[in-house]
Amino acid sequence: MAHLNAYASKDALASALLTFIVERQSHAINRHGRFQVGVSGGSLPSILAQALLSEEAHGQIVWDKWQIFFADERAVPLDHEDSNYGLLKKELLDKLPEGAPQPTVVPIDTDYLDDTQELADQYEQALVRYFAPRDSVLKPIFDLLLLGCGPDGHTCSLFPGHELLRENDAWVAPIEDSPKPPPKRITLTLPVIKHAIKAVFIATGAGKQEILKQIFGDPEGGLPCTLVNHVLEDKVTWFVDYPAVEGVVYHKKSLL
Ligand SMILES: O=C1O[C@H](COP(=O)(O)O)[C@@H](O)[C@H](O)[C@H]1O
């Protein structure tokens, strides 16, 4: 069963997230000398940056061991305002101290923007290059997935009721009819998410309240976030703030 941790403020949430990430970073580096992370777009990069660029984080993040991949990405140029890479760059990567060790960041190959299947295949090949030598299983094993939760319960670019929720082969899949613009995207699939060592959801603000009530009130409901809770069970931790969690009934909830 997923853990649900609720915080009185974004500062408290960011601080707890930092502690969690540092612990997972140590675990990963001890295990295989690097920290392979999948990152979402939306509201997540800004909170992630708040955690990782804080004074408290100083000296705790071993950036040159980080390999950052995208949990989903929009089929747009990297400097487009809809790009998840562009967002992470603006919020976090551009703010890392110059001259200091930098993470490896693996964006989509924008040569393939006109063909989302090829874009997804190329990103899958990139994952093969970074993960396959270690993983004899047939799926990449992310040390940590940092996931968002849309107000409709979508995560990555896996949307409620969409056929991609039944994908059980591809690591990375294209979507051409995303209900949230832009329509053309690529996304990690549920079988990949299922193999992650840990996953975190971050959801803040009253706009997430109704969907959190559904996700935790109806664990069999089939929403994409619910499916992630289901496949990863206690390997998932939700970091939410009080406005998002108000009215959510869940017995594994901690108010911090
Ligand atoms: O479109 C997307 O939305 C989700 C959720 O975004 P949020 O702003 O509601 O947090 C995000 O996780 C995903 O990466 C993004 O492509």
Residue pair 201/238 in contact (Cβ under 8 Å)? The answer is yes
CB proximity list for 102: less than 8 A, separation 6 or greater: 63, 64, 96
pLDDT over 80 (residue 184): yes
Domain covering 10-231: architecture: 3-Layer(aba) Sandwich (3.40)
Residue 121: what pLDDT? 97
For ligand 1, atom 16, the nearest C-alpha belongs to 41
List the domain boundaries for the chain: 10-231
Is 210 buried (19+), middle (13-18) or exposed (0-12) by CB count in 10 A? middle
For ligand 1, atom 7, the nearest C-alpha belongs to 42
Q: Which ligand 1 atom sits closest to the C-alpha of 149?
A: 5
- Mean pLDDT within 22-51: 98
Residue pair 25/248 in contact (Cβ under 8 Å)? The answer is no
Q: Which of 13-27, 90-104, 210-224, 240-254 has the lowest mean pLDDT?
A: 240-254
pLDDT over 60 (residue 133): no
Residue 135: what pLDDT? 55
What's the CA-to-centroid distance between 119 and ligand 1, angstroms? 19
Residue 186: what pLDDT? 98
Report the percent of the chain where pLDDT is more than 70. Answer: 97
| Distances 29 to 32, 94, 153 between C-alpha atoms, Å | 5, 24, 32
Ligand 1 mutation pick, 44, 186, 210, 239, max ligand atoms within 8 A of CB? 44
Q: E strands within the chain?
A: 3-7, 35-39, 66-70, 72-74, 104-105, 144-148, 172-175, 185-188, 199-203, 236-241, 253-255
Bridge partners (DSSP) listed for residue 188: 172
2 in contact with ligand 1, CB cutoff 6 A: no
Q: Which ligand 1 atom sits closest to the C-alpha of 208?
A: 9
| 256: confidence class by pLDDT, cuts 50, 70, 90 | confident
Half-sphere exposure of 135 (CA within 13 A, CB side): 18
What's the CA-to-centroid distance between 41 and ligand 1, angstroms? 5
Type of residue numbered 203? A
What's the CA-to-centroid distance between 100 and ligand 1, angstroms? 29
Residue pair 197/135 in contact (Cβ under 8 Å)? The answer is no
Mean pLDDT of the chain: 95
Q: Which ligand 1 atom sits closest to the C-alpha of 40?
A: 14
- Mean pLDDT within 191-210: 97
CB proximity list for 62: less than 8 A, separation 6 or greater: 25, 29, 35, 101
Q: Which ligand 1 atom sits closest to the C-alpha of 203?
A: 10
More confident residue, 150 or 133: 150
Give CA–CA dist 245/256, Å, rounded: 12
Backbone φ and ψ of 101, nearest 5°: -55, 140
| Distances 161 to 152, 171, 189 between C-alpha atoms, Å | 11, 19, 14
Cis peptide upstream of residue 103 (ω within 30 degrees of 0): no
**Pairing label, strands 185-188, 72-74:** antiparallel
Kindly report, residue by residue over 138-169, the tens digit of the pLDDT.
Answer: 799 999 999 999 999 999 999 999 999 999 99
Kindly report, residue by residue over 213-233, the tens digit of the pLDDT.
Answer: 999 999 899 999 999 999 999
- Mean pLDDT within 91-113: 96
What's the CA-to-centroid distance between 99 and ligand 1, angstroms? 31
Type of residue numbered 150? G
pLDDT over 80 (residue 36): yes
